[in-house]
Amino acid sequence: MTDISQVRSQRYKGNEQKRHTYELKKLKTENDKTYQNEVKRYEDQISRMREEYEAKLANLETTLEQKLTSVRSRQEVRVMDENKRIDEELKNIKSNHNAQVGEVAESQMNEIEEMRESHRKTLENARQKFIKEKAKWNTTA
């Protein structure tokens, strides 16, 4: 009897091992399928997020480019206005300088004329004195 129970026991053990192996294979297959589904789902989600990120990035770049263009155009207008103002200021400074040069030249001409007049008067006075002195010496001699 022990032989029969041993054979039964081994058959039972073998059947249990087969059933256990089958269940393990079945669980492994199910888990692999679940894992693959999860991987695919998350990869799809990541790709969707990446696309959204790239779209937002492109929109942001476009917006920033537009703002940059706007700032550049406003800056160009400011620079042109500033250049006009500087040109006008330069014209005013040059005209003031020319007017001052003219005033200085006129004042120097007036000074030279006054010096000439003073020199002429001095020479005339010296000539008159010379004539008086000469007349004194001519009458006594």
Tens digit of pLDDT for each residue in 85-106?
999 999 999 999 999 999 999 9
pLDDT value at 42 more than 60: yes
Provide the residue ranges of all domains of the chain, joining segments of one domain with +: 1-141
Confidence of residue 115 (pLDDT cuts 50, 70, 90): very high
Give, rounded to a whole angstrom, the gap between the first and last alpha carbons of the chain. Answer: 197
What was the pLDDT predicted at 141?
A: 52
Residue labelled with tokens 């492109």: 58
Tens digit of pLDDT for each residue in 58-91?
999 999 999 999 999 999 999 999 999 999 999 9
More confident residue, 57 or 136: 57
Stated pTM of the model: 0.49
Residue labelled with tokens 């030249």: 105
Q: How far apart are CA 103 and CA 95, in angstroms?
A: 12
Tens digit of pLDDT for each residue in 4-34?
788 888 888 889 999 999 999 999 999 999 9
Q: What secondary structure, in 3-state letters, does the chain show?
A: CHHHHHHHHHHHHHHHHHHHHHHHHHHHHHHHHHHHHHHHHHHHHHHHHHHHHHHHHHHHHHHHHHHHHHHHHHHHHHHHHHHHHHHHHHHHHHHHHHHHHHHHHHHHHHHHHHHHHHHHHHHHHHHHHHHHHHHHHHHHC
